[in-house]
Amino acid sequence: MAGEQLRYDGQTVVVTGAGGGLGKAYAVFFASRGANVVVNDLGGSGKGEGASSNMADQVVKEITQAGGKAVANYDDVTNGEAVIKTAIDSFGRIDVLINNAGILRDVSFKNMKDQDWDLIMKVHVIGSFKCARAAWPHFRKQKYGRVINTSSAAGLFGSFGQCNYSAAKLALVGFTETLAKEGLKYNILCNAIAPIAASRMTATVMPPEVLELLKPEFVVPVVANLVHSSNEDETGGIFEIGGGHVAKMRWERAKGALLRADDSFTPGALLNKWDDVSDFSKPEHPTGVANFMELLEEAQKLPPNPEAEKIDFNGKVVLITGGGAGLGRLYCLNFAKYGAKVVVNDLADPEPVVKEIQEMGGEAFGVKASAEDGDAVIKAIIDKYGRIDVIVNNAGILRDKAFHNMDDNLFNTVLNVHLRGTYKISKAAWPYMLKQKYGRIVNTTSTSGIYGNFGQANYAAAKCGILGFSRALAREGQKYNIYVNTIAPNAGTNMTRSIMPEEMVQAFKPDYVAPIVVLLCSDKVPEPATGRLFESGSGWATETRWQRTGGVLFTSQAEMTAEGVRENWSKIVDFDDGRADHPSSADDAQKKIMANMNKSKKEGKSSGKQDKEILGNIEKAMKAQAEGTPFNYDERDVILYNLGIGAKRSDLPLVFEQDENFQVVPTFGVIPPFNAVAPFSISDVVPNFSPMMLLHGEQYLEIRSFPIPTESETVTYPKLVEVVDKGNAAIVVTGSTTKDKKTGKDVFYNESTVFIRGSGGFGGNAKGADRGAASHVFKAPQRKADCTVEEKTTEEQACVYRLSGDRNPLHVDPEFSKVGGFKVPILHGLCFFGIAGKHVYSQYGMFRNIKVRFAGTVLPGQTLVTEMWKEGNTVIFQMTVKDTGKLCISGSGAELVDGGKSRL
């Protein structure tokens, strides 16, 4: 088997969202290995707008011209029946479903609209459910099926500005784990992947050199193995993939704190044993709920818990959704006991609990409404109390049904009550919590969500989605003193009564979950706790987190084939070889990729491509036309850029939009092309490419529209200008034309020249063409500079500049910079290029073009000195780092528009 090629002859593979990026890579691969492929793509934008059959048709054409079999499907994934019908009608069967379709609607939580939430859920969660549900009867009948659902690092860890996306992507993990449990006896294996791959979606948030390593081809081989018939036991798995890095994830549960389950089990008693809650010295790696009967028996052997500090909620307003019974009622009573003003929310009658609290001397009032009507619930609270301090999102329902029998109503109802209800309540309260810079939110997942559970595909998706939502929300709230945590309670309630024996329901009293909820909503938990997941019940409370295998780092695409992955599979899934770690953010995944880039740099492995292939690729790439990437900017973006290159508050024309001379520093022209999608890949036009061997050598900018508009809708078209073979290295020049979308007129033209060590020797041109001002190298005159400007950068310079588009972690994250060979994060080259351009502009006025050659690095906080010489209509300049005496820009020049007239 070792050398045998993975084949899919006679099988039918359905790939959703297959019109480009990762989906297209799947489709082309499976067709090349003998499968019949259904290429599904609605053809909309990365934000879910519009539709077109063009993208799917192009992929089908590419496959059929290569001798493969494929048909197009243009249905929305929420019409899963039609997607799967295409497979059955065309090929008579379906064997593999890859739920890949996705969109982004990134926006901070305070600005998120219901449409942003609902559309993400519709495409990612409901679309995946609908396609899987439509395929399920066919899988069961033939006793064979393979399903891949697509999660992401944003789902696993939560991501700032992606509360909707994080929720949807982790919902798919709970959904997958449940399908894996239900499908196993029918030989239906289901896995989830968290890919990091370049696509229309990631192109806007990843730096180009990282995107180059994140080609979809680095993800496909793992999926190829998971869906192959030779995989007979890998199911319910979660795999992190990207940039040659492959690892498996699983849940890890701490030993936890165990207390006697009686009236002495209070929040204060749990606080005394808080260190035990997160004690991972003897962890377990569960696939389901803990043995609570055993825990309860152990807890009852313990002596009463010592008297402890009383938690105080005096003056705090606490909302409990689903507060009319079960866990919710116990939460209400507990918070009231500790002095809170309690709001009992329930779709059923909340008044009995309100009266119960009032009779014990507490303060409470009821709001009868669905949690989905979060605006009305929060308005009632604000009208009465003027504030909201604590939310426990507890409301829920069960609609259990085997997946084979689950219908849309069962799935959507549970998703709406649990996940959308949690979102709506939190969203309505968020502005008040931001304003008061205080908030505590505890959201309710379940062990069914974390681990999956037979007959609960709807509930597991909703509950795991709540965890993804909570983790993202925690990241947005922390700086405002808003902490968000998630609990998975084990207690006997009206919901669990239908699936537990009565004696167990009595043993698992909700009383024994309330202490951790109350404690997490207080200000007493050390560290503080936010974005974390806790399981609790029967006197026991513990933290659950991710564990990740050491995995495998493939250093090149040639090495990372489907067969190469298969040979390394045992290492990919090995949690016990001493290399496993515990990632807690999306950055942890990117660090693995950066490590791989560093590894590639050290090993210098050749891709093995022949000279003729490279030369042919260059010729093809020179002719390729870009589709065009939109970039819209307004006054805010202009001001942000100006601040990023050191504009001061006294520079009103640069920082105040109402100043009569408000203007764009002309070097802003480098921003629109930054994330523009090129019609070629650097790795195709040079051999042995590694992003870690790439240096940004030169930048040329030409301003083609005067005055530069302070707001505009533009489209940028990149192209390959030339590739130069320097023997031990290669030079690649990319040109980008930015046009005004409405008029079609050129606004900017850029040329970016990169020097790539170890990528020459392919028989190409040894000398670059003369491209006039773009390729001219300026020489500083021997005389003293005509003008010198000195400017100290700030420690935060890179943090501000990156907000204009260059989100490369190298410039902000010390761990990334170390991998890149720098002790601390360095300043963006285009940032100090902008500072130099600002100096020329301030002294000599508007320039027609500017060309710089980068000569060294700059650290935020260092002082820059720009020396300038005016020679006719050109300003020749260079920039030195005063702290080191070394040049960072040399041989540079700018051609003035009108002979030199200062505008600042």
| Residues annotated catalytic, as ranges | 165, 169, 459
Would you say 710 and 624 are in contact if contact means Cβ atoms under 8 Å apart?
A: no
Closest residue by Cα to residue 22 from 59, 70, 72, 77: 59
Structure-token pair, residue 119: 């559309």
Q: What is the dihedral of CA 455, 456, 458, 460, to 10 degrees?
A: -150
Q: Is 776 helix (H, G, I), strand (E, B) or coil?
A: coil
Which of the 8 DSSP states describes residue 125?
I
Spatial separation of the C-alpha atoms in residues 220 and 242, rounded to whole Å: 10
Side-chain-side CA neighbours of residue 42 (13 Å): 21
Q: Is 8 helix (H, G, I), strand (E, B) or coil?
A: coil
Closest residue by Cα to residue 158 from 554, 722, 545, 630: 545
Q: Residues 6 or more apart from 490 whose CB is under 8 A from it? A: 289, 290, 292, 447, 508, 513, 535, 536, 537, 538
Spatial separation of the C-alpha atoms in residues 487 and 544, rounded to whole Å: 10
Q: Is 808 helix (H, G, I), strand (E, B) or coil?
A: coil
DSSP string for 336-347: HHTT-EEEEEES
Q: Residues 6 or more apart from 659 whose CB is under 8 A from it? A: 652, 653
Residue 385: Cβ-neighbour burial (10 angstroms; 0-12, 13-18, 19+): middle
Handedness of CA 765, 767, 769, 775 (dihedral sign): positive
Would you say 512 and 264 are in contact if contact means Cβ atoms under 8 Å apart?
A: no
Per DSSP bridges, beta strands 629-633 and 540-548 are: unpaired
Q: Residues 6 or more apart from 840 whose CB is under 8 A from it? A: 847, 850, 866, 868, 875, 877, 894
Spatial separation of the C-alpha atoms in residues 829 and 478, rounded to whole Å: 32
Closest residue by Cα to residue 238 from 448, 565, 546: 546
Of all residues in the chain, what percent are helix, strand and coil, respectively (each to 5)?
A: 40, 20, 40
DSSP string for 860-902: TT-EEEEEEEEETTEEEEEEEETTTTEEEEEEEEEEESSS-B-
Q: What sections of 33-79 are H helices per DSSP?
A: 54-65
> Residue 242: which region, alpha, beta or left (left: phi > 0; alpha: psi -120 to 50)?
left
Cα separation values, 541 from 101, 264, 688, 707, Å: 38, 15, 52, 64
Structure-token pair, residue 707: 């005055």
